[in-house]
Structure 1
Amino acid sequence: MSFTPDTVGALQSAAELVNAVEPPVTLTTVADLEAFFRRHGYTGRHDRTADELAAVLALAPRLRALLLADRDAVAPLVNAMLADVGAVPRLVRHEHEDWHLHAVDDDAPLADRILAETAMAMVDVVRADEHSRLDVCADAGCSGVVLDLSRNRSRRYCSVTCTNRNAQAAHRARRAGAA
């Protein structure tokens, strides 16, 4: 699997956004959105308002459906998302990133850019037949999205928290069995 850096970034951003609205909710303030914007290297318009935060958070269910859709169900979702934002893909280059695709103008609302970039990333996932890289967290009490970019496809949990919780539970079960 060798996705381009912009595809990896869009998938990571989308997975984080989807998981940020699952308990414990981690994206609740404009400041949280600012940190998300910077962490994922977004460029272009960023209003830093409560309305922008609400629009970005409103994407989560739609992105979740896209990330977890099977291969045949992805195409209509991607096509609808790209149509909704009036996508016109174009090559761009930034100071710290070589040529890559943007599907909407830099002055489009952040929510539209996130939607377009995620849809474009899913085009690469479909074309590479890499849907097995996306799944639901293996933790019984969690419904987070897992993006597995590991070489051996071994990631099962959406976060370090879920990984540690399950490792501790397995450790306690082994100790109880040994006793």
Structure 2
Amino acid sequence: MTMQPLPVQPYDLTPNKVVILDRDGVINEDSENYIKSLEEWRPYPQAIEAIARLSLHGWTVAVATNQSGLARGYFDEATLQLMHDNLCERVSAAGGSIAHIAYCPHGPDDDCACRKPKVGLLDQIQQRLNLENLRGAWMVGDSGRDLEAGIAKGCHPVLVRTGKGKKTEARENLERVWIFDDLAAFVDHLIEAERRAPQ
């Protein structure tokens, strides 16, 4: 088996050049019945291209995802790995990369430290990227749990209206939360804002 080298992180990696994404409802279609197989894992085409554009413009992209279907026995870790391998392959084919995928395998009653809105997944990403903190990074999700976890780590919270996003927008207090129709719209904004920023 040939081991692939880990992607080299930029020397000047700072939190404001890090984008952390929830998975289901942000990168791929969500389901009330859980995403239980590679066949059921259907990425939004514009999300794959958006992740690649972030990479090409110098952002480091990571994923933080609750996967309680593991604890419920709906799928196993090998199946989850197939989904994540497919995600990374699609992003790579589009010219980008994902630095790390952190997932919580526990159920809501397991009292773990990683299930969002707790910050364990973001701590894992912070350590993997060798950052002192995540203040100023971007946390993109479709639920209140995602936003809470990001805010607790000092990230800019971003809600997308895909997945559960519209329901979240209707019922949550979203003061100081950035809201976009989908991941591609957020990426458009981020790249354009950097382009317009004074040098």
TM-score (norm 2): 0.29
Structure (1 or 2) with the larger CA radius of gyration? 1
TM-score (norm 1): 0.31
Q: Which has the higher strand share?
A: 2
